[in-house]
Structure 1
């Protein structure tokens, strides 16, 4: 069966950056399982998997715009250190939940000085091309319930 809208797909992957450094991998773990066509994986990878079959192996380069989006400078802000009351040790790399008019978002600390903390609301992989090595393990039709709920049930998926 070919991957198409409402397919349940399981695949192994290794994600690397442009220098070949591994960012994430399913190696040694269960394959990633998702419902195709509902936006559960980055769009560039989802598009590249259309028409593929169980057993297929492929390398996919996903441009930033089709991955985690472009990096936006306006999402990098300096915040007064007082905004982090109750947190004594603030270091680059720490993540916090911030409340914005659009709702909650995760920000990553990128710099700290005596009076300010610089935070970045971009996804850590925003603005970067992604390189996936993929092996499709299984492809099946989604059940009516999976289609209705918008996610996979059972092994590799959601359990109600």
Structure 2
């Protein structure tokens, strides 16, 4: 039995950048469970598990277009430092949650701070990166009966 689109599966994985830097792993945790093709994982990860069999391990390289996309300048904004208040203390590299006009919150990374401006980057931290995953298929879960 191999993985098909629409299957709910459980996998162990190690995610690394091309330089070997590990950015995520299921080691020491339960396997990641998701439904293939549902958009729960990046498209390249979805595609990589198709056809895998229980116990199989594979390594796959996923380009930015099939992961978190390319980094875009449109996702970077300069905000007047005064909008953060007098007590604002932060450093480049730190993350903040900002609230959008619709009430949703998104994570942003501070990329630059000067006396007048705070530059925020809303690109995903892995945008523009090629990802390397080692994936082991742990289980193909039983299908949920139709209600």
TM-score scaled by length of structure 2: 0.89
Q: For residues 62 and 83 of structure 2, what CA distance do their matches in structure 1 show?
A: 37
Answering whether residue 95 of structure 2 is matched by residue 95 of structure 1, we say yes
Q: For residues 65 and 34 of structure 2, what CA distance do their matches in structure 1 show?
A: 21
Contact 2:10/2:141 (<8 A) preserved: no
Contact 2:15/2:22 (<8 A) preserved: yes
Answering whether residue 127 of structure 2 is matched by residue 126 of structure 1, we say yes
Q: Which residue of structure 1 aligns with residue 28 of structure 2?
A: 28
Superposition pairs of residues 56-135 of structure 1, within 5 angstroms: 56-85=56-85, 88-100=88-100, 104-135=105-136
Structure 1 residue ranges without an equivalent (≥5): 149-160
Bigger CA drift: 12-21 or 101-110? 101-110
Q: Following TM superposition, by how much is the alpha carbon of 1:48 offset from its aligned partner in structure 2, in angstroms?
A: 1.3
Q: Following TM superposition, by how much is the alpha carbon of 1:140 offset from its aligned partner in structure 2, in angstroms?
A: 2.5
Structure 2 residue ranges without an equivalent (≥5): none
TM-score scaled by length of structure 1: 0.83
Query: What are the Cα deviations for residues 8-38 of structure 1, in whole angstroms up to 9, with x where unaligned?
Result: 1111111111101111111111111111111
Coordinate RMSD, CA, aligned: 1.9
Aligned length: 146
